[in-house]
């Protein structure tokens, strides 16, 4: 039994896992049980370990692994490291790292007496990286579980808040359901591979080859298997009609966790969809038309429902559904352009969303959660910098130049038209137009209305949160002003997916 | 060496940012140092660049160029943020930075005590930055950026005292009028890109060096040139878009001198010179330029004859002189046009600054009927103003004589000129001399009349009470000379008005003085070498016409002396023909014509159709309809979203079953 | 290939169909008793129910301990196959299992320090 085990490829994941264990131990021995203390908070140490872990993982990914350039497979085909995986890992690490910085401020505000959220985020992120690098359905499923379970816990991490508990439970129940569907789909696909492909293997590449080389339509159970696997991922990317959990969970979860879910989970799901269903596979499986419908429905539901929300987090939840729809448009385009567009889109969406959630975290306190439009009233005028950040975030999410969101949408729509999805692109443009209405609402509230009642106290500035928001805002502007470099990077990354 | 262009371009921007963001806290002294430094250092560097260019000996002209960064690359469209310095742009660079530095210095005295002192210098520096983009831009897009930038700064500075709604309105008028022109400019630019596939003037000129490229429609060239000229009429205040410039005098006087006389308004002339290859091949467009220029020169000069506001006269004079420059451009005398642009920058800046000095001494009274005899009180202002007057009137050997006379000659002798144009421009020159000497008589010579009680500060020319500053102490007493910060620029500019013309001595005169070369013409030759227009050589005739115009200018001086020398009462000869006086006083009713023919209908159309029908019914209706539909859909879907996990799972399973059914449908198909 | 499973399918259909038919017949033909609370009890006759309310509260700590038990139970499950394959897996297997055990110990330490083991 000789299997190549190249642990050097797995260093970012190992760093994250190691950091998680370390945080757990530090938490166990440094943080006494009971309510948190302000003086000499040991959470500083656990945060430092977590952020350092993320940073080293990100830097390692971008320098050592990316510099090597070639696609490498190890662990008997379980683990694939190629440019595509590295790009998404970088996006996920950026999103996770920035959420981590946001969470610190939030934990302080809410006096959460433990560093467990840091540990959970590290573990979930490690799971995401494994999913992104999965070369095999087994690996994919393991990664999925390692990712999902900590996030269920994260959603419920505000233990004394009913809404947080509710969010965690809902996510757990529906998420397990989706996972079960996905597992069933994998089983069916495995059966298909065993019957038709000759070799019974869970290797994604082998299965894709079998599917593409198959003459005539696939047998029904293979169709069903593909669809169920797709549904598992559509659930994570919160595409309609598998999106129902999203608004409740996003609203109920602690805000930094919402930010984390909305960027990192979505990017991971997009990566998996591209990896498993990329290139000619989607069409060969006959799932193209279905995904068309799902994408259209997702864009409509996300954008229309966002219009009537009064809660900013809920609005951003629907907005994230809508963005999932745009990502699916890029997936459908199936061309290298479309795939590169998806990569760029996840990056642009990540930084824009982090900035928006950062504003909410900044303004919130225990007992004074700023979540509704009414609570934002007049704050932009009183705190112009906060207003500026929100403005940039919203404009980027709408897709207005010169911010990142514009080029992201532009790249995806262009690719979709190039692949002949004109109708879908028109629908995407129309729904984008609708989105303007709800993205401007926070800005209208912040700048054009007066505060109700006694003015809210000036929120103290948390340097770590400020750092995260600053990085997100600068990235949003840089990606929008000088998109070429990053588009090129995305284009170079998807070469790894080429058939 | 080309790296020197970076500080030249960026220092004014840095200055603008320092003054704009921190000026309030820095105090007036630091603001002045930053503001002047940000323009004086580029001014000195510009000389270094000139010497560098002089030291180069390329066969077909020299240039320094530099790409700062890749700006826009979209498909075939490529526009870098590049800088390009050749013989033409270095001349403009020297004018803008050095005269700009003098005017900055002058502003220190003029704006002293203004509460928004820092804002003024921030705007001025920003203006210089935009102007340098305009001049140094290696392609038309950068030029256009500067073009819009100077328009913006002009708007900000005209309305600098925005508390006065008239001033703010004047700023708006300038901005809107310029938009019309800019629209043409933008269209012209797009057309040029479609024709040549590039927006670099050097490449466009190069493509046209040896005639039209094969297969290019000459009509398209004409169209592009005409569209660009529309832009020029806006920025350089030519018929029909000149109406904003006289109103622009609402701004502080240094602004009038810098932006609305010496630099920004010449942008149209510079643009045509920059694209000389294009205009050379657009013969019809050049005729249009010629005719518009001549008509503007005369029309504005006649209006200037009767105005009593000293800045108004100078404003119309500027419009008129810009007309002269366009005549030169239209006649294909590129170098001559640039020459006049330069001498005009000297003497008109001097005139405006001199008028500012007078206005300050008269406590912001701009009506010349209350002046008189000021030569006794403010000799430095008087002598420099006098030198500039002689220059603009075309008296030998002052700067304007050389440049204006050459324009007259080329209007007559160039293949693209015409005797009628010559006559029109000559008439304009006579009017120029008349209104300038009228200013001299009303302002500096004769007896001091003074401002009657109950007038002056309450006059509508200036109700900006904050602006009095420390000059209040002199109120009621005799006018006094301005401080050194204001007189030094005046003296420098006065001297330039005296000697500046020797940079471009016509060959005719140069030959007499032992082959004194036409320095400017030779210097600019490489830029214009492929666009030379043929003109008649007739030395005798040229001597004659030169003598005629000089004689006319001198006799106009004599006439004004007869009219006003030693008279107590100021009568205007045109008072005897009230119809004409009224016509000119009301500026040929151009503003009223625009009001009736354009603005009224547009306002009415906007109100009745665009607002009440298009906006309220069509747009609002559509938006409300879409919004209503969305809301209905959202309400329906929202009912599903009731927080019940079982319900959510049902939707998921339902969706899954539906998709499976679809798949089954596929399979059966 | 699929055809060979047809008999199985037939048996499934036959069996469930038979059951359905019997139940239907029963409810259709049989006497319809009046509904009484006693009918809902698990044992209609014999000993009375000790506890009517099944939703008795259990101490929440019980769940924690149960969870931990499951975890360490699973650990044992993994130890068995490893022990069987110990020689083949060699040093590598030993290290792998140690990693697994150490992470479990870390978890145990955490819950212990956090006071979850205090009943």
Give A85-129 as a DSSP string: HHHHHHHHHHHHHHHHHHHHHHHHHHT---SHHHHHHHHHHHHHH
Half-sphere exposure of B496 (CA within 13 A, CB side): 20
Q: Is residue B300 within 8 Å of B316, Cβ to Cβ?
A: yes
Whole-structure pTM value: 0.65
Confidence band of A331 (pLDDT split at 50, 70, 90) = very high
Tell which of B655, B658, B662, B668 to mutate to test the A interface (max A CBs under 10 Å): B655
State the average pLDDT over residues A93-107.
Answer: 90
How close does chain B come to A34, measured CA to CA in Å? Answer: 33
The yes-or-no verdict on residue B470 having pLDDT over 80 is no
Confidence band of B467 (pLDDT split at 50, 70, 90) = very low
The verdict on residue B419 lying in a domain is yes
The verdict on residue A36 lying in a domain is yes
The yes-or-no verdict on residue B471 having pLDDT over 50 is no
The yes-or-no verdict on residue A374 having pLDDT over 70 is yes
The yes-or-no verdict on residue A37 having pLDDT over 60 is no
The residues near A463 (Cβ < 8 Å, ≥ 6 apart) are none
The yes-or-no verdict on residue B474 having pLDDT over 50 is no
H/E element, B66: strand B63-74
State the average pLDDT over residues A293-321.
Answer: 93
Confidence band of A452 (pLDDT split at 50, 70, 90) = confident
Half-sphere exposure of A372 (CA within 13 A, CB side): 7
Tell which of C110, C112, C115, C118 to mutate to test the A interface (max A CBs under 10 Å): C110
Q: Of B511, B494, B503, B377, whose CA–CA distance to B447 is shortest?
A: B377
Instruction: State yes or no: ipTM above 0.90.
Output: no
Residues from chain A contacting residue B664 (CB–CB below 8 Å): 220
The verdict on residue B40 lying in a domain is yes
CA pair distance A363, A391, nearest whole angstrom: 15
CA pair distance B13, B128, nearest whole angstrom: 8
Which residue in the block uniquely carries the two structure tokens 């002189």? Answer: B321
pLDDT on residue A22: 92
The yes-or-no verdict on residue C56 having pLDDT over 80 is no
pLDDT on residue B493: 92
Helix (H, G, I), strand (E, B) or coil at B74: strand
pLDDT on residue A190: 93
As to burial, measured by CB atoms within 10 angstroms (0-12 exposed, 13-18 middle, 19+ buried), residue B373 is: middle
Neighbours of chain C (3+ CB pairs under 8 A): A
Preceding peptide of B101 cis, ω within 30°? no
> What is the sign, positive or negative, of the torsion defined by CA atoms of B163, B166, B169, B174?
negative
How close does chain A come to C54, measured CA to CA in Å? Answer: 23
Helix (H, G, I), strand (E, B) or coil at B59: coil
pLDDT on residue B465: 41
pLDDT on residue B297: 94
State the average pLDDT over residues A157-168.
Answer: 88
For C106, the closest of A24, A33, A114 (CB atoms) is A24
For A21, the closest of C88, C103, C114 (CB atoms) is C103
State the average pLDDT over residues A358-370.
Answer: 84
pLDDT on residue B296: 94
State the average pLDDT over residues B444-460.
Answer: 67
CA pair distance A275, A135, nearest whole angstrom: 9
A173 and B630 within 8 Å at the Cβ level: the answer is no
The yes-or-no verdict on residue B457 having pLDDT over 50 is no
A33 and C110 within 8 Å at the Cβ level: the answer is no
Max mean pLDDT among A196-205, B207-216, C40-49 falls in: A196-205
Helices (H) and strands (E) in chain A, counts: 23, 2
The verdict on residue B190 lying in a domain is yes
State which of B565, B583, B601 marks the end of a domain: B583
* Domains held by chain A: number: 1
Chains B and C lie in contact, requiring 3 or more CB pairs less than 8 Å apart:
no
How close does chain B come to A304, measured CA to CA in Å? Answer: 6
> What is the sign, positive or negative, of the torsion defined by CA atoms of B268, B274, B280, B282?
negative
The yes-or-no verdict on residue B668 having pLDDT over 60 is no
State the average pLDDT over residues A331-360.
Answer: 93
How close does chain A come to C49, measured CA to CA in Å? Answer: 33
**Assigned token pair, B114:** 């203004």
For C115, the closest of A1, A25, A33 (CB atoms) is A33
Residues from chain A contacting residue B637 (CB–CB below 8 Å): 301, 304-305
- Give the mean pLDDT of chain A: 89
Closest residue in chain C to residue A33, using alpha carbons only: C114
CA A135 to centroid of chain Cα atoms:
20
pLDDT on residue C49: 59
pLDDT on residue B77: 75
Which residue in the block uniquely carries the two structure tokens 């596939």? Answer: B197
The yes-or-no verdict on residue A356 having pLDDT over 50 is yes
Q: Are residues B496 and B616 in the same domain?
A: no
Neighbours of chain A (3+ CB pairs under 8 A): B, C
Backbone angles phi, psi at C114, to 5 degrees: -80, 0
The verdict on residue B539 lying in a domain is yes
pLDDT digits (tens, 9 = 90+) for B128-145: 999 999 999 988 989 998
In terms of pLDDT, which residue wins out, B619 or A139? A139
Closest residue in chain A to residue C114, using alpha carbons only: A33
How close does chain A come to B381, measured CA to CA in Å? Answer: 48
CA pair distance A445, B600, nearest whole angstrom: 38
Rg of chain B over Cα atoms, rounded to whole angstroms, equals 29
State the average pLDDT over residues B205-214.
Answer: 84
C110 and A114 within 8 Å at the Cβ level: the answer is no
The yes-or-no verdict on residue C42 having pLDDT over 80 is no
Residues from chain A contacting residue B651 (CB–CB below 8 Å): 241, 244
Confidence band of A35 (pLDDT split at 50, 70, 90) = low
CA pair distance A360, A99, nearest whole angstrom: 12
Q: Are residues B83 and B143 in the same domain?
A: yes
Confidence band of B177 (pLDDT split at 50, 70, 90) = confident
Chains A and C lie in contact, requiring 3 or more CB pairs less than 8 Å apart:
yes
Confidence band of B329 (pLDDT split at 50, 70, 90) = very high
B655 and A170 within 8 Å at the Cβ level: the answer is no
A24 and C114 within 8 Å at the Cβ level: the answer is no
The verdict on residue A222 lying in a domain is yes
The yes-or-no verdict on residue B424 having pLDDT over 90 is yes
The verdict on residue B398 lying in a domain is yes
pLDDT on residue B477: 67
Q: Are residues B409 and B266 in the same domain?
A: no
Max mean pLDDT among A144-158, B190-204, B207-221 falls in: A144-158
Q: Are residues B533 and B605 in the same domain?
A: no
For A29, the closest of C103, C113, C115 (CB atoms) is C113
Residues from chain A contacting residue B73 (CB–CB below 8 Å): 484
The verdict on residue B457 lying in a domain is yes
CA distances from B359 to A195, B252, B371 (A): 99, 11, 10
Q: Are residues B502 and B359 in the same domain?
A: yes
Confidence band of B667 (pLDDT split at 50, 70, 90) = low
State which of B281, B302, B317 marks the end of a domain: B281
The verdict on residue A204 lying in a domain is yes
Closest residue in chain C to residue A5, using alpha carbons only: C92
What is the 3 state secondary structure string of B485-540? HHHHHHHHHHHHHHHHHHHHCCHHHHHHCCCCCCHHHHHHHHHHHHHCCCECCCHH
Confidence band of C43 (pLDDT split at 50, 70, 90) = low
Helix (H, G, I), strand (E, B) or coil at B206: helix
| B86: β partners | B63
Backbone angles phi, psi at A79, to 5 degrees: -125, 120
The yes-or-no verdict on residue B365 having pLDDT over 60 is yes
The proportion of chain A whose per-residue pLDDT surpasses 90, expressed as a percent, equals: 58
The yes-or-no verdict on residue A271 having pLDDT over 60 is yes
State the average pLDDT over residues A487-493.
Answer: 89
Closest residue in chain A to residue B633, using alpha carbons only: A304
pLDDT on residue B469: 41
State the average pLDDT over residues B606-635.
Answer: 84
pLDDT on residue A41: 65
Give the torsion through C-alpha atoms of C65, C71, C73, C77, to 10 deg.
Answer: 180
The verdict on residue A250 lying in a domain is yes
The proportion of chain B whose per-residue pLDDT surpasses 90, expressed as a percent, equals: 39
pLDDT on residue C50: 60
Helices (H) and strands (E) in chain B, counts: 28, 2
A434 and B631 within 8 Å at the Cβ level: the answer is no
pLDDT on residue B161: 87
Q: Are residues B388 and B416 in the same domain?
A: yes
B609 touches chain A (CB under 8 A): no
Task: State the count of interchain CB pairs (< 8 A) between A and C.
Answer: 20
Q: Is residue A361 within 8 Å of A106, Cβ to Cβ?
A: yes
Which residue in the block uniquely carries the two structure tokens 């006003």? Answer: B564
* Domains held by chain B: number: 3
| B79: β partners | B72
CA pair distance B127, B464, nearest whole angstrom: 23
Alpha helices in B77-137 (DSSP H): 87-94, 100-110, 117-136
Q: Of B378, B410, B354, whose CA–CA distance to B474 is shortest?
A: B378
Helix (H, G, I), strand (E, B) or coil at B581: helix
How close does chain A come to B653, measured CA to CA in Å? Answer: 9
Q: Which of A123-132, B63-72, B104-113 has the lowest mean pLDDT?
A: B63-72
| Structural domain for A121, as ranges | 7-497
Closest residue in chain A to residue C1, using alpha carbons only: A195
In angstroms, how far apart are the furthest CA atoms of chain B? 111
The verdict on residue A193 lying in a domain is yes
Q: Is residue B341 within 8 Å of B622, Cβ to Cβ?
A: no
| Structural domain for B537, as ranges | 334-583
The residues near A32 (Cβ < 8 Å, ≥ 6 apart) are none
Max mean pLDDT among A80-84, A277-281, B514-518, B587-591 falls in: A80-84
Q: Are residues B448 and B478 in the same domain?
A: yes
Closest residue in chain A to residue C113, using alpha carbons only: A28
State which of B559, B583, B607 marks the end of a domain: B583
Tell which of B659, B666, B667, B669 to mutate to test the A interface (max A CBs under 10 Å): B659
Q: Of A313, A301, A324, A400, whose CA–CA distance to A364 is shortest?
A: A313
pLDDT on residue A36: 53
H/E element, A79: strand A79-81
State the average pLDDT over residues B473-495.
Answer: 81
Tell which of B641, B658, B662, B665 to mutate to test the A interface (max A CBs under 10 Å): B641
C109 and A33 within 8 Å at the Cβ level: the answer is no
Helix (H, G, I), strand (E, B) or coil at B252: coil
């Amino acid at each position: 039994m000789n299997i190549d085990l190249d642990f050097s490829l797995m260093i970012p994941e190992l760093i994250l896992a190691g950091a998680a264990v370390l945080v757990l131990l530090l938490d166990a021995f440094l943080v006494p049980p009971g309510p948190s203390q302000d003086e000499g908070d040991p959470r500083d140490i656990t945060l430092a370990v977590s952020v350092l872990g993320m940073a080293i993982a990100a830097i390692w990914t971008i320098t050592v692994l990316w510099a090597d350039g070639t696609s490498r497979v190890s662990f008997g085909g379980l683990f694939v490291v190629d440019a595509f995986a590295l790009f998404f890992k970088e996006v996920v690490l950026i999103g996770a790292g920035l959420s981590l910085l946001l969470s610190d401020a939030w934990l302080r505000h809410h006096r959460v007496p433990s560093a467990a959220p840091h540990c959970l985020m590290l573990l979930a992120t490690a799971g995401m990286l494994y999913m992104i690098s999965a070369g095999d359905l087994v690996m994919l499923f393991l990664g999925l579980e390692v990712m999902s379970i900590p996030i269920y816990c994260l959603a419920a991490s505000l233990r004394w808040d009913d809404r947080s508990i509710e969010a965690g439970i809902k996510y757990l129940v529906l998420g397990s359901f989706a996972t079960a569907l996905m597992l069933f789909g994998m089983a069916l696909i495995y059966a298909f591979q065993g019957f038709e492909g000759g070799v019974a293997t869970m290797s994604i590449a082998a299965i894709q080859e079998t599917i593409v080389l198959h003459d005539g339509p696939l047998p029904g159970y293979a169709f069903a298997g593909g669809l169920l696997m797709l549904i598992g991922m559509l659930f994570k990317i919160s595409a309609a009609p598998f999106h129902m959990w999203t608004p409740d969970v996003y609203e109920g979860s602690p805000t930094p966790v919402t930010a984390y879910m909305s960027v990192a989970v979505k990017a991971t799901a997009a990566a998996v969809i591209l990896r498993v269903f990329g290139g000619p596979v989607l069409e060969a499986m006959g799932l193209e038309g279905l995904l068309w419908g799902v994408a259209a429905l997702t864009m409509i539901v996300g954008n229309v429902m966002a219009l009537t929300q009064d809660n900013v987090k809920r609005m951003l939840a629907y907005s994230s559904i809508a963005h999932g729809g745009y990502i699916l448009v890029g997936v459908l385009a199936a061309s290298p352009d479309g795939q590169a567009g998806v990569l760029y889109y996840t990056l642009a969406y990540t930084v824009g969303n982090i900035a928006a959630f950062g504003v909410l975290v900044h303004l919130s306190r225990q007992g004074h959660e700023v979540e509704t439009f009414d609570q934002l009233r007049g704050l932009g005028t009183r705190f112009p910098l906060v207003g500026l950040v929100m403005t940039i975030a919203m404009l980027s999410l709408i897709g207005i130049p010169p911010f990142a969101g514009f080029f992201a949408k532009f790249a995806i729509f262009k690719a979709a038209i190039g692949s002949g999805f004109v109708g879908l692109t028109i629908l995407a443009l129309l729904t984008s137009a609708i989105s303007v209405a709800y993205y401007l609402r926070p800005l209208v509230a912040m700048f054009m209305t007066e505060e109700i009642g006694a003015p809210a106290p000036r929120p103290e500035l948390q340097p770590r949160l400020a750092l995260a928001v600053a990085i997100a805002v600068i990235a949003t502007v840089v990606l929008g002003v000088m998109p070429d470099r990053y588009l090129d990077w995305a284009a170079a990354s998807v070469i790894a997916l080429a058939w | 060496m080309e790296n020197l262009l970076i500080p030249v371009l960026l220092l004014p921007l840095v200055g603008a940012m320092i003054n704009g963001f921190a000026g309030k806290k820095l105090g007036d002294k630091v603001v002045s140092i930053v503001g002047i430094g940000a323009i004086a250092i580029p001014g000195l560097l510009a000389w270094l660049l000139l010497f560098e260019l002089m030291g180069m000996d390329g066969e077909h002209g020299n240039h320094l160029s530099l790409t700062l960064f890749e700006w826009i690359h979209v498909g075939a469209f490529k526009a870098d943020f590049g800088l390009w310095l050749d013989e033409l742009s270095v001349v403009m660079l020297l004018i803008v930075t050095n005269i700009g530095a003098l005017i900055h210095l002058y502003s220190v005295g003029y704006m002293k005590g203004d509460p928004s002192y820092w804002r003024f210098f921030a705007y001025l520096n920003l203006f210089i930055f935009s102007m340098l983009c305009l001049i140094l831009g290696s392609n038309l897009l950068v030029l256009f950026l500067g073009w819009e930038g100077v328009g913006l700064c002009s708007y900000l500075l005209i309305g600098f005292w925005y508390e006065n709604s008239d001033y703010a309105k004047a700023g708006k008028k300038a901005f809107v009028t310029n938009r019309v022109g800019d629209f043409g400019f933008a269209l012209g630019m797009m057309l040029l890109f479609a024709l040549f596939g590039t927006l670099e003037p050097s490449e466009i000129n190069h493509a046209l060096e040896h005639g039209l490229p094969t297969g290019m429609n000459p009509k398209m060239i004409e169209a592009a040139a005409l569209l660009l000229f529309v832009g020029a009429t806006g920025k350089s205040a030519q018929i029909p878009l000149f109406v904003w410039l006289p109103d622009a005098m609402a701004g502080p006087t240094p602004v009038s001198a810098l932006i609305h006389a010496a630099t920004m308004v010449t942008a149209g002339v510079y643009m045509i010179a920059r694209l000389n290859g294009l205009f050379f091949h657009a013969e019809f467009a050049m005729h249009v330029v010629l005719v518009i220029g001549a008509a503007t020169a005369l029309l504005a000069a006649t209006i200037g004859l009767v105005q009593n506001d000293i800045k108004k006269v100078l404003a119309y004079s500027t419009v008129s002189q810009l007309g002269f420059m366009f005549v030169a451009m239209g006649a294909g005398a590129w170098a001559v046009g640039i020459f006049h642009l330069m001498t005009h920058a000297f003497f008109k800046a001097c005139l405006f600054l001199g008028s500012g000095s007078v206005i300050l001494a008269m406590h912001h009274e701009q009506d010349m009927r209350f002046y008189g005899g000021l030569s006794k009180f403010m000799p430095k202002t008087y002598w420099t103003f006098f030198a500039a007057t002689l220059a603009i009137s075309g008296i030998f050997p002052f700067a304007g004589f050389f440049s204006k006379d050459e324009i007259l000659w080329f209007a007559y002798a160039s293949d693209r000129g015409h005797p009628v144009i010559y006559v029109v421009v000559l008439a304009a020159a006579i009017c120029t001399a008349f209104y300038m000497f009228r200013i001299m008589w009303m302002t500096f010579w004769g007896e001091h009349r003074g401002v009657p009680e109950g007038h002056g500060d309450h006059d509508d020319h200036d109700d900006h009470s904050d602006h009095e500053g420390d000059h209040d102490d002199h109120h009621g007493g005799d006018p006094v000379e301005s401080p050194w910060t204001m007189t030094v620029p005046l003296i420098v500019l006065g001297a330039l008005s005296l000697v500046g013309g020797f940079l471009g001595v016509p060959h005719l005169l140069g030959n007499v003085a032992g082959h004194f070369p036409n320095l400017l013409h030779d210097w600019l030759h490489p830029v214009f070498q492929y666009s030379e227009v043929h003109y008649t050589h007739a030395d005798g005739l040229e001597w004659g016409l030169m003598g005629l115009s000089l004689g006319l200018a001198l006799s106009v001086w004599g006439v004004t002396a007869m009219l006003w020398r030693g008279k107590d009462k100021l009568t205007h000869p045109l008072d005897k023909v009230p119809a004409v006086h009224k016509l000119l006083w009301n500026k040929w009713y151009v503003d009223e014509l625009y009001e009736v023919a354009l603005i009224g209908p547009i306002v009415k159309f906007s109100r009745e159709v665009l607002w009440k029908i298009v906006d309220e019914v069509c747009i609002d209706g559509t938006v409300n309809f879409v919004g209503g539909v969305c809301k209905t859909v959202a309400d329906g879907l929202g009912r599903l979203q009731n927080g019940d996990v079982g319900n959510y799972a049902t939707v998921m399973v339902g969706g899954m079953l539906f998709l499976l059914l679809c798949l089954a449908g596929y399979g059966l198909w | 290939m699929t055809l060979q499973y047809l008999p199985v399918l037939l048996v499934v259909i036959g069996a469930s169909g038979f059951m359905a038919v019997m139940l239907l017949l029963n409810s259709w033909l049989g006497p319809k008793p009046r509904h009484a609370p006693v009918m809902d009890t698990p044992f209609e006759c014999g000993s009375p129910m000790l506890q009517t309310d099944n939703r008795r509260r259990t101490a929440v700590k019980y769940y924690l301990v149960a969870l931990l038990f499951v975890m360490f139970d699973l650990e044992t499950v993994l130890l068995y196959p490893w022990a069987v394959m110990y020689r083949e897996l060699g040093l590598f297997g030993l290290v792998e299992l140690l990693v697994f055990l150490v992470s479990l110990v870390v978890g145990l330490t955490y819950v212990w320090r956090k006071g979850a083991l205090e009943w």
